[in-house]
A and B are shown apart, each in its own frame.
Chain A
Amino acid sequence: MKKLTGVIIKEFLVLYRDIPALVFLFIMPAVLLIVISVTEDKITRQGKVSLLLIGSDSSEIKKDIEMGLQKSDFFTVMNINSTDQSIIESAKQSIVTGKYQAEIIIPPDASKTMSLRAENLVSLSSKDPDNLKDSLNSRNGLAVITVIFDPAIKDSEKYSLINALKGIFTGTELKVMMDKYFASLGQDLNQQFKTKVNSLKKKDISINIPDMPVNEELNNQVRKSIDKLSTEDINLKIPKFPWQAQSLLQISPLYANNPRNEVIKPTISQICVPAFTLFAMFFIVMPLAGSIITERKEGAFHRLRTLPVSYFTILLGKIFVYMAICILQFLFMIAIGLYILPRFFDMPALVMGSHYTAIIVTAIMSSLAAIGFGLLVGSWASSQAQASTFGSMMIVILSILGGVFFPVYLMPASIKTVSIISPIRWGIDSFIDLFVRNEGFYSIFLNLAKLFSFFILSVTLSLISYFRRN
């Protein structure tokens, strides 16, 4: 035990004096975590696509577009009440400079054009129904809404806007068309009734009831009523078309693989903090492998082998020290998620779920996996340069596969399959289960087992290398 303490003290002193390593282990991942979290948060919150909407405020089309886009969480609309061409041109500059990502221009006569076309189509539907289809397909007489895009806009954002506008237009068109249709229907029915009554006027509807003294009087009264009816409008009241967008159907968004069908949306912190914690932990390969190689190259290990201390004690000392470093890294990153990001960058604080024991165990298992990797590289590499190059390359690859820089679900199936070999992924998946889904040990047990097995395998391979060398 005392010898183990001696090894631990030595390892701490060696690491404590390796300032570049400490910067690498703490500052670099912290900076990455903050920069990437803040950037992703900005992309999520404010990018929202920024739009300019230019036209007259009295335009019904403009009102519908503004209301429809504002309701969506994806767009931020800047309304300009103007039809002046010079303002439209200067607004284009905002698109060119990237201040806004798109500009929607409502022509001053758009509502009128739309209304006129609707009237024509309604008229055609009763008078010349055979040509209605051709007229519907014709592009003549359409009100044209121009949308000017920033060339740098992402396709997904562009098509989101176009599809949103199409949805809004469908509603606007339907509303205008229905109003015209039912107004025309009222007039049409009115006219048809009058025609029917006039045709009645022309018919002889006299009734001759034998021995009825007031026959003539009765017939005159009926004729007078018919005459009166033929001059009056029936004012047919057509009830208002009871329609509003999404009043019959609704979309219910849910997340897959959730037995309780709860809506769970992970925050940026819940994704980024575990990701960069694992990234940081695995970077201990640099100082750990470095210390093993230095010991070997500088001859200190040669001396150690002549001393009455087992290799197991030396190894255990290194494991303890680097475990402490990994746990410190973990706590440091958690602190960034809990305090730095909300306080200085106005982001939601990290939510960690309630299974704290499972969180600590996951941190320990992830640390062990990282330490095992460091021991493995240190044992097999023959020089510092080799260890640095190979170690850092492998960490970057394992991080990319593990989902540190972008989510695993975005990867193609073939790469997703390969990503399951990354111990970084096992760690991240475990933390996400704990933080986002508030799952317990049962859910993460397999990943913890994989992390521990990776540690055992790495240490075994390190020992093989040691015995081969010595």
Chain B
Amino acid sequence: MNQNTIITIENLKKKYKGSDEEALKGVSFSVFEGENFGLLGPNSAGKTTLITIICGLLKFDTGRVIVNGVDVNKAPKQIRSFIGLVPQEISLYPNLTIRENLTFFGRMHGIFGKILTEKVNYCLNVVKLEQHQSKLISKCSGGIKRRANLVAGLINDPQLIFLDEPTLGVDEQSRNLIFEFLEQLNQKGATIVYTTHYMKEAENLCKRVVIIDTGIIIASGTPEELIKNNAGCNDLGQVFLKLTGKELRE
């Protein structure tokens, strides 16, 4: 694994307008190039806020965010050409077909003509959506939508991929397909930042994880290290519960 840093976050703080508490309270970590990195935490921990800031979609109060050498605060638009975002919600046009969605997002990346057609075909093929490509998104099942949502964020072969709960509400077969695809991408050299509530997924997929709760990083390391460092825990899920507590979150 390449040890070049692709994401550097230093003392990041963010407080939403009208809120009493900071969403991020001085978060610092790094992500290495080619890494499969897990960002774990309960609801309202600050995961989505963090990803949104790193993608240049949200301004932060203090700190530094450097993505592939670009200061996100100063030039947020510069990072758009090499990142891919797979949001938690299905971010597709319901009145367009799967193919039309992929084609549109490909064009917005500046991909046209034969190359675009090939990329779209590849994306449809890799997540087994060829037979559904002419279906309107509004008419697709949850699993199909998730797969389409995934490949729409990856049409430009991004160097850095953000996946926010990509397997939410997805059946086991679709989940397995997604994992295989993500592993392929990682093997090709893409850096993956992965957020999930499913600890088993994180344990299997991610080489390193940080656990964030109420805007603070409470643990970081490889899954094995975290399990080892938390006595009485046999898996990442138990580590997570031990560190974040069993109380229900908003």
By a CB distance below 8 angstroms, the chain B residues around A13 are 95-96, 100
Q: Do A10 and B104 touch (CB < 8 A)? A: yes
User: Given the known A-B contacts A307-B105, A308-B80, are A300 and B110 also in contact in the complex, defined by CB atoms under 8 Å?
Assistant: no
Stretch of A1-9, A40-48, A333-341 contacting B (4+ beta carbons < 8 Å) = A1-9
Task: List chain B residues, Cβ under 8 A from A5.
Answer: 107
Q: Given the complex of chains A and B, what is the CA–CA distance between A73 and B213 in angstroms?
A: 86
- Would you list which residues of chain B between 75 and 89 have a CB under 8 Å from chain A? 77, 80-81, 83, 85, 87, 89
Whole-angstrom CA separation of A17 from B95 in the bound complex:
7
Q: Which residues of B contact A303 (CB under 8 A)?
A: 85, 87, 91-92, 105, 152-153
**Cβ of B95: which chain A residues have Cβ within 8 Å of it?**
13-14, 17-18
Say yes or no: is A196 at the interface (Cβ < 8 Å to chain B). Answer: no
Knowing A14-B96, A306-B80, A308-B80, the reply to whether A3 touches B107 (Cβ < 8 A) is yes
* Known A-B contacts A2-B107, A303-B152, A308-B80; A298 and B57 likewise in contact (beta carbons under 8 Å): no
Do residues B91 and A6 form an inter-chain contact, with CB atoms below 8 A?
Answer: no
Interface size for A (C-beta < 8 A) is 25
**Given A299-B87, A303-B153, A470-B57, residue A309 in contact with residue B92 (CB < 8 A):** no
Say whether A302 faces chain B, with CB atoms less than 8 Å apart: yes
B148 nearest CB across to chain A (Å) = 12
A17 vs B152: C-alpha distance when bound (angstroms) = 21
CA distance A309 to B81 in the complex (A): 9
Known: A13-B96, A17-B136. A304 touches B90 (CB 8 A): no
Task: Indicate if B189 sits at the interface (CB-CB under 8 A).
Answer: no
Q: In B111-158, which residues have CB < 8 Å from any A CB?
A: 112, 136, 152-153
Docked complex Cα distance between A59 and B112 (Å): 90
Q: Is B55 an interface residue (CB 8 A)?
A: yes
Residues of chain B within 8 A (CB-CB) of A306 are 55-57, 80, 83, 85
The reply to whether A2 and B112 form a contact with Cβ atoms under 8 Å apart is yes
Within 8 Å of chain A (Cβ to Cβ): is B177?
no
Contact B110 A308 (CB under 8 A): yes
**Judging by beta carbons under 8 Å apart, are B108 and A298 in contact?**
no
Give A388 Cβ to nearest chain B Cβ, in Å.
17
A304 and B108 in contact (CB under 8 A), knowing A17-B136, A294-B94?
yes
Tell me, in angstroms, the Cα distance from A34 to B181 when the chains sit together. 58
Q: If A302-B57, A302-B87, A307-B80 touch, does A6 touch B107 (CB 8 Å cutoff)?
A: yes
Provide the A163-194 mask, 1 if CB < 8 A to any CB of B, else 0: 00000000000000000000000000000000
Across the two chains, which residue of chain A brings its CB closest to B104? A10
A6-B104, A306-B80, A307-B109 are known contacts. Are A300 and B92 too (CB-CB below 8 A)? yes
Question: Is A224 an interface residue when CB atoms closer than 8 A count as contact?
Answer: no
- Mask, A308-325, CB within 8 Å of B = 1, is 110000000000000000
What does DSSP make chain B's interface, helix, strand, loop or mixed?
A: loop
Checking B57, B96, B112, B152 against A305 with a beta-carbon cut-off of 8 angstroms, the contacting residue is B57
Question: Closest CB-CB distance, B3 to chain A, in whole Å?
Answer: 26
Which residue among A3, A294, A302, A307 has the maximum number of chain B CB atoms within 10 Å of its CB?
A: A307
What residues of chain A lie closer than 8 Å to B96, measured between beta carbons? 10, 13-14, 17
Chain B residue numbers with a CB within 8 Å of A2 are 107, 110, 112
- B93 proximal to A (CB < 8 A): yes
Contacts of B55 in A (CB 8 A): 306
Residue with the highest number of chain A CB atoms closer than 10 Å, among B87, B93, B110, B152: B93
- Residues from chain A with Cβ under 8 Å of B92 in the complex: 298-300, 303
* B194 → chain A closest CB, angstroms: 17
* B108 adjacent to A300 (CB under 8 Å): no
Least Cβ distance of B145 to chain A in Å?
11
B28 to chain A, nearest CB (A): 23
Q: Which B residues are CB-close (under 8 A) to A295?
A: 93
Complex Cα spacing A6 to B108, Å: 7
By a beta-carbon cutoff of 8 Å, the part of chain B in contact with chain A is: 55-57, 77, 80-81, 83, 85, 87, 89-96, 100, 103-105, 107-110, 112, 136, 152-153
User: What are the 7 A-B residue pairs with the smallest beta carbon separation, nearest first?
Assistant: A6-B107, A299-B91, A303-B91, A308-B80, A299-B89, A307-B108, A309-B108
Q: A2-B112, A9-B104 known; 13 other A-B pairs, CB under 8 Å?
A: A6-B107, A14-B93, A14-B96, A18-B95, A298-B92, A300-B91, A300-B93, A303-B87, A303-B105, A307-B108, A307-B109, A308-B77, A308-B81
14 A-B residue pairs with Cβ-Cβ distance under 8 Å, sorted by A, are: A3-B107, A3-B110, A6-B103, A10-B93, A13-B96, A14-B96, A302-B57, A302-B87, A302-B91, A303-B87, A303-B153, A306-B83, A308-B80, A308-B109
